[in-house]
Amino acid sequence: MTGSRVQTVLDRIYAADMPDLADMEAVLRVEDRGELGLLFGFAEKVRREYVGDGVLLRGIIEFSNVCRNTCAYCGLNRLNSRLRRYRLTAEEIVSAAENVSLAGIQTVVLQSGEEDNLDAEWLRQVIEEIKCRLGVAVTLCVGERRREEYQMWKEAGADRYLLKIETSDPALYRELHPGMSFENRVRCLRDLVELGYQTGSGNLVGLRGQTLRHLAADIRFFKRGHFDMVSASPFIPHPQTPLAGEPAGDLTLTLKVIALARIVSRNAHIPASTAIGSLHGRDERPRALAAGANVLMPNFTPAPYRQYYEIYPNKRCVGEEPVRCAACMEQMAAAIGRRVDYSRGDSLKSESHADSMNARDMGIYAK
């Protein structure tokens, strides 16, 4: 494509109610530096206009690596017998949440593998304790659960929920998630939205069998779902998984997906994920922040456990002290002319979209 053609396609994607798959595929294929500059520049313009220059911080606590699932890409999958499993106590989680709050960060993300034995009532008490003591926003990321459990946690004060679709292609999803159901994942997302959670979804870039068309469809899935938060992260191979021998997801392709996600979703919060910071042993998160992202997620999992939350190898900051994180994030933001925003960073989507959610919106039937 020529530069002016790229610009025309980008304008069309931006203006469309539902962007054309072929248009997005064409943009995902762009390799020329100048044309990439047009894409990232457009995403940055949209980011500046809709979410501003602030970089929001979310302190993540990985409270358990126990998992019942066998996702083909994930080091936590239950067949990985080499991984030492752990689950923090309620006291350890609340203490880690205090560290998040002491660092001035007003969102605590509680993430875990998908545990059969996770006691919903126990988690409810943890949420209540954090809300009552610290008053921070609580984001949950504990996978697929029953609607009643989501409701219980919402009533306890949880504000947000992250559940990536990973891939919006049902066939590819089934191949990578033995024993799991694409329909149930979508059911969960629908329940979360209906219950009033600020809801985030996202995908992995570079999965075996994934095409540019799949990625374009993921971006349409984000648009249809009208999510408050959207993420795109590179797949990183883990040696104890069926995808051990596969190449990692491509950084530039991931940045292109982030840029398109920004352009179509306007004001969703989009992280420069830790996987982007870990991919090549170099921290490439500033490049994601310069391609439309506006969130960083420093890790507050207590040191003895952090190394065991090994979804992929060589994860960034595993040896860092959480107290240093805020300063490091400030430096990263300043280096690209931005600033850390210590506010809660709630959803910028004003209208309630629960009413418009149905299976078709989530793209089960329509593509």
With H, G, I as helix, E, B as strand and everything else as coil, classify residue 112.
Answer: strand
Provide the strand spans (E) within 30-81.
Answer: 54-57, 59-64
Q: How far is the CB of 174 from ligand SAM (least distance, A)?
A: 15
Nearer to ligand SAM, 289 or 311 (CB): 311
Enter the tokens of residue 285.
């998160």
Cα–Cα distances in angstroms (integers) from residue 120 to residues 53, 95, 123, 250, 309, in the given order: 38, 20, 5, 38, 21
Nearer to ligand SAM, 246 or 330 (CB): 246
The answer to whether the CB of 207 falls within 8 A of the CB of 218 is: no
Q: How far is the CB of 142 from ligand SAM (least distance, A)?
A: 6
Nearer to ligand SAM, 164 or 285 (CB): 164
Burial of 67 (0-12, 13-18, 19+ CB in 10 A): buried
Q: How far is the CB of 209 from ligand SAM (least distance, A)?
A: 15
Sole residue written with tokens 């595929």 = 25
Rounded to the nearest angstrom, the gap between the alpha carbon of residue 85 and the centroid of all alpha carbons in its chain is: 23
Q: How far is the CB of 339 from ligand SAM (least distance, A)?
A: 28
Sole residue written with tokens 């292109």 = 256
Q: How far is the CB of 259 from ligand SAM (least distance, A)?
A: 19
Q: Distance (Å, rounded) from C-alpha 251 to C-alpha 346?
A: 28
Q: Distance (Å, rounded) from C-alpha 292 to C-alpha 44?
A: 5
Q: How far is the CB of 127 from ligand SAM (least distance, A)?
A: 16
Enter the tokens of residue 75.
């080091």
Q: How far is the CB of 114 from ligand SAM (least distance, A)?
A: 4
Q: How far is the CB of 239 from ligand SAM (least distance, A)?
A: 10
Instruction: Show the CA angle centred on residue 187, arms to residues 182 and 190, nearest 5°.
Output: 130
Nearer to ligand SAM, 76 or 259 (CB): 76
Q: Distance (Å, rounded) from C-alpha 346 to C-alpha 83?
A: 35
With H, G, I as helix, E, B as strand and everything else as coil, classify residue 201.
Answer: strand
Nearer to ligand SAM, 164 or 220 (CB): 164
Closest CA to 103 of 342, 345, 335, 346: 342
Nearer to ligand SAM, 182 or 235 (CB): 235
Nearer to ligand SAM, 141 or 364 (CB): 141
Sheet of strand 339-341, all strands in order from the earlier edge strand to the far edge = 295-296, 54-57, 339-341
Nearer to ligand SAM, 310 or 361 (CB): 310
User: If you ran DSSP here, which 8-state letter would residue 351 be given?
Assistant: S
Contact residues for ligand SAM, defined by CB under 6 A: 73-74, 76, 111, 113-114, 141, 143, 163-164, 166, 204, 233, 235-236, 238, 275, 311-312
- Helix H or strand E encompassing 199: strand 198-205
Nearer to ligand SAM, 163 or 255 (CB): 163
Q: Distance (Å, rounded) from C-alpha 262 to C-alpha 39?
A: 11
Q: How far is the CB of 15 from ligand SAM (least distance, A)?
A: 30
